[in-house]
């Protein structure tokens, strides 16, 4: 773990369990990984909508969206991708600790980075669900909604995952969405892997 020099952790006055109980929340991270255009963002957005409409705090951390801000200084070199995943995992962990279901959709091509994201959560007692959106590269190339595969294959873009940069497929994901699975079915599969929220116990007073 990286820690700046000369800093001390400051405990708040309210702990995780009191926070979660009072809010009727249970934080967790749903981590979608897969090739560009495999369908991560589509399924993640549908999961988010379903959870929020069911009254659960859920918030999407979309790879492209994060690169508009917190990861906006990073490119696509292996080191920058690693840092992108590290920061995303840290933000997800904070959201999950706060009682929100963080829904991450980033290519996250390296197994080590995903393992580190999982370890960060599990060390902290937070549920981490890895979802492999396993769409064949030929189908991703056919979809190509942002035209990135086309540009990479024309040599206009370097370091594109699935073309000239590697993607290390998860060997033991918690959920695997294979090609042909429609979005509604994918949402059900993901939600069935998530721990249920406890009932809210509002006004809970901490033990004194």
Residues 179-198 within binding reach of ligand ADP (CB under 6 A): 181-183, 186
Q: Is 162 annotated as a binding residue?
A: no
**What is the x/- site pattern for ligand ADP, positions 43-82, by CB under 6 A?**
----------------------------------------
Among 30, 37, 126, 175, binds ligand ADP (CB under 6 A): 37
39 binds ligand ADP (CB under 6 A): yes
Rounded to a whole number of angstroms, the minimum distance from the CB of residue 179 to ligand ADP is 8
Among 16, 40, 56, 60, binds ligand ADP (CB under 6 A): 40
Closest to ligand ADP by CB, 25 vs 104, is 104
Say which residue the tokens 């069911």 belong to.
54
Among 34, 99, 109, 170, binds ligand ADP (CB under 6 A): 34
**108 counts as catalytic:** yes
């Amino acid at each position: 773990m990286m820690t700046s020099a000369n800093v001390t952790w400051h405990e708040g006055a309210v702990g995780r369990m009191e926070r979660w109980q009072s809010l009727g929340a249970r934080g967790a991270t749903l981590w979608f990984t897969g090739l560009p255009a495999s369908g991560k963002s589509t399924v993640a957005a549908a999961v988010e909508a379903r959870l929020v409409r069911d009254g659960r705090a859920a918030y999407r951390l979309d790879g492209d969206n994060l690169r508009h801000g917190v990861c906006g200084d990073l490119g696509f070199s292996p080191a920058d991708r690693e840092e992108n995943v590290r920061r995303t995992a840290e933000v997800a962990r904070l959201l999950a600790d706060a009682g929100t279901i963080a829904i991450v959709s980033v290519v996250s091509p390296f197994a080590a980075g995903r393992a580190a994201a999982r370890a960060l959560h599990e060390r902290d007692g937070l549920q981490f669900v890895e979802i492999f959106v396993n769409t064949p590269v030929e189908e991703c190339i056919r979809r190509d909604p942002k035209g990135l595969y086309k540009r990479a294959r024309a040599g206009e873009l370097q370091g594109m995952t699935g073309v000239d940069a590697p993607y290390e497929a998860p060997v033991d994901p918690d959920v695997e969405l294979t090609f042909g699975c429609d979005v509604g079915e994918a949402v059900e599969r993901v939600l069935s892997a998530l721990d249920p929220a406890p009932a809210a116990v509002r006004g809970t007073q901490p033990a004194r």
